Amino acid sequence: MEFTAQQIADFIKGTVEGDPSVKVNNFSKIEEGKPGTLSFLSNPKYSHYIYDSNASIILVNKDFEPERSIKATLIRVENAYESLAFLMSVVERAKPAKTGISSLASIHSTATISENVYIEAFVNISEGVKIGKNVQIFASTNVGENVTIGDNVILYAGVSIYKDCVIGANCILHSGVVIGSDGFGFAPAEDGTYKKIPQMGNVVLEEDVEIGANTTVDRATMGSTMIRRGVKLDNLIQVAHNVEIGENTVMASQSGVSGSSKIGKHCMIGGQVGFAGHIHIADSTIIGAQSGVPNSIKDPGQMFMGYPAIPLKTFHRAAIVQKNLPDLQRTVYELQRKLQEMEKRLNDK
C-alpha cells in the first residue's frame, strides 16, 4: 500500500514541508534512504545524513532547524521516533493474522483455547492451560500445566513457560525465553553439600510486557516473581526469584537482578548492570551500563554509574581523577624523592 505525505501527516497530526503528494510504501534508515520510503531523524548525531538522504519523506521533530536545503519532504511532529514507532505498529497490525492449529501440535484435552488462535507444529500445551483470543504460538514452544495466557500474546519459537505462570494480555516473548524456571535456592548443609529449596511460587507478567530472546525469569520460592505492566526486557537478561520490576521500566541486555530485589517504576537500566539481592531501587532511576548496584537507591529520579554505583556527577569527577592517576603517581614519587633529599641534608648537618 502507498500513502502520501499528507495522508501520513494527517494520521500522526504532523505538518508537511515540501510535496504533500509524494508517496511511500516502505521504511528506511536515514543513512540508507531510498526513493519511495519513509525515514526519520531524532538523534542529532545523524543530522548530517538528512541533506543527502534519498528517502522520499522524513519525520523530524518540530524544533529541527536545517542548515541547508533538503531534497525530501519533511513531516514535523512532536516526537519523530515515537511517531515512527506508531506508524510501524500500524503497518504491522495491518498484516493479516495467522490462525489455525497444526495437527503436529500436542494439546491436552483439558486446555481451553479461545478464538483466532494460531499454534504451530511441535508446540506442547499442557493440562489446565487457558489461552486467550488472538494468541500466536510458534514452533517448539512448551506451555506448562495451569498456565494462563491473555489475549493477543505472541510466543515465538522455542519459548518455555513453566507450570502455574501467568502471561498478561499483549505480551511478546521472543525465542528462547524461559518463564518460571526454578529460582537459585539452596541451603548449605553441615556436610558441605547444598540442599535444594523447592521453588513453589510462580511468575506473573502483567499486560504489555515484552521480553527479548534468551532472557530468563525465575519463579518465586513462595508468592510471585512480578514483572509489572509495560516492562521491556532486552535479550540475555536474568531475573531471579521473588524479584519485582515496576511499571514501564526498561532494561538492556546482559543485566541481572538478584533474588528478592525490587526495581521501581519508569527506571532505565543500561546493559550489563548487576543488582545485589534484597535491595530496593526507587522510581525513575537511571543506571548506566556495566554498573554494579550493591545497595538500595532510596531517592527517585537519580542517575547512577560505576561499581559500586554512585551518582553520575560524582562518577564523572572520579573518572577524571582516575585518568590522571599516572601523573599524580609521578608527582607523589617526585615529592617523596625531594623530601628524602631534604631529610638527608638535615641529617648531614
Q: Which of 45, 79, 94 is at the close of a domain?
A: 94
pLDDT of residue 63: 94
pLDDT of residue 151: 98
Domain count within the chain: 3
Same domain, 172 and 230: yes
pLDDT of residue 273: 98
Output the domain CATH number for residue 196. 2.160.10.10
pLDDT of residue 62: 96
Cβ within 8 Å of residue 260, ≥6 positions away = 240, 241, 242, 243, 277, 278
pLDDT along the chain (349 residues), means of 10: 93 96 96 96 94 96 94 96 94 85 98 97 98 98 98 98 98 98 95 96 98 98 98 98 98 98 98 98 98 97 96 90 88 92 85
Q: Which of 39, 61, 94 is at the close of a domain?
A: 94
Among residues 101, 123, 11, 115, the alpha carbon closest in space to that of 57 is found at 11
Q: Which long-range contacts (CB under 8 A, 24 or more apart) does 1-4 make?
A: 1/25, 1/94
Q: Are 218 and 245 in contact (CB under 8 A)?
A: no
In a domain, 226, yes or no: yes
Active site residues: 241
Same domain, 182 and 278: yes
Same domain, 326 and 199: no
pLDDT of residue 108: 98
DSSP codes joined into one string, 89-130: HHHHHHSPPP-EE-TT-EE-TT-EE-TT-EE-TT-EE-TT-E
Within 10 angstroms of residue 23's Cβ, the number of other Cβ atoms is: 16
Same domain, 296 and 347: no
Among residues 266, 273, 183, the alpha carbon closest in space to that of 234 is found at 273
pLDDT of residue 93: 82
In a domain, 204, yes or no: yes
pLDDT of residue 210: 98
Among residues 181, 136, 183, 143, the alpha carbon closest in space to that of 159 is found at 143
Same domain, 288 and 166: yes
Same domain, 256 and 275: yes
Same domain, 186 and 300: yes
Domain span at 329: 318-349
pLDDT of residue 1: 77
